[in-house]
């Protein structure tokens, strides 16, 4: 497999994880608000 392709896939997955993480944080902040 191409190393550049693996790097692109890794960055893509990292971006998705980061988006999901920030979404969870926003949801928790919204739920904890009075």
- 34's tokens: 């009075």
| CA dihedral of residues 18, 19, 25, 27 (deg, nearest 10) | -160
pTM: 0.63
- 11's tokens: 């960055």
What pLDDT is attached to residue 15? Answer: 97
Domains contained in the chain, number: 1
Domain limits for position 31: 1-34
What pLDDT is attached to residue 10? Answer: 97
Per-residue pLDDT tens over the stretch 1-34? 799 999 999 999 999 999 999 999 998 888 876 7
First-to-final CA distance of the chain:
51
Beta strands in the chain (DSSP E): none
């Amino acid at each position: 497999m191409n190393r550049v392709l693996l790097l692109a896939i890794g960055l893509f997955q990292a971006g998705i994880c980061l988006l999901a993480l920030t979404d969870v944080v926003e949801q928790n902040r919204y739920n904890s608000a009075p």
